Amino acid sequence: MSKSNRPNANPQTCSTKDLHYITSDKPVFSCKNCSIVIGLQDELCSKGFTGGSGRAFLINSTINTNLGKKEERKLITGTHTCADLLCASCGSSLGWKYLKTPSDDQKYKENRFILEQAKIVKENNW
């Protein structure tokens, strides 16, 4: 085998497409674009948030999501370090994750996720 000029391996794009499906009848949030489940409504922390496009939910955990670039956002409550939250299936933007918050009274948001209501579907399986 001769040496080929391989492009540099790009570790940032080597995520495996490991998607999860919820088979139970728990109420879930799913991606508005591709309908994959992105979180359990059980994990919901607060509904009183405002995102870029209106109402948003704060949730403890998500599934089938990827994080985008880390960035600092200046909010009314101070400078937060956030990363975009993207659907792992279709790549749509769903909201963001709080990585670092400016003060103790904001700390409850750290490592939690904002889901923008306009980007997701709330599915109630009665």
Q: Where are the alpha helices (DSSP H) in the chain?
A: none
Closest to Zn ion by CB, 34 or 83? 34
Tally Cβ neighbours within 10 Å of residue 110.
13
Q: Can you tell me whether residue 75 is helix, strand or coil? A: strand
| Binding-site member from 61, 77, 90, 125 for Zn ion (CB under 5 A) | 90
Measured in whole angstroms, the distance separating CA 123 from the mean position of its chain's CA atoms is 17
Least distance in Å: CB of 35 to Zn ion? 7
Task: Report the C-alpha gap between 126 and 115 in whole angstroms.
Answer: 22
Task: Report the C-alpha gap between 122 and 28 in whole angstroms.
Answer: 6
Q: Does 121 bind Zn ion (CB under 5 A)?
A: no
Tally Cβ neighbours within 10 Å of residue 12.
7
Q: Does 89 bind Zn ion (CB under 5 A)?
A: yes
Closest to Zn ion by CB, 62 or 89? 89
Q: Does 34 bind Zn ion (CB under 5 A)?
A: yes
Closest to Zn ion by CB, 41 or 106? 41
Q: Does 93 bind Zn ion (CB under 5 A)?
A: no
Choose the stretch contacting Zn ion; rule: CB under 5 A; options: 20-28, 70-78, 83-91, 107-115.
83-91
Q: Does 33 bind Zn ion (CB under 5 A)?
A: yes
| Cβ partners under 8 Å of residue 14, min gap 6 | none
Positions touching Zn ion (CB under 5 A) are 31, 33-34, 87, 89-90, 92
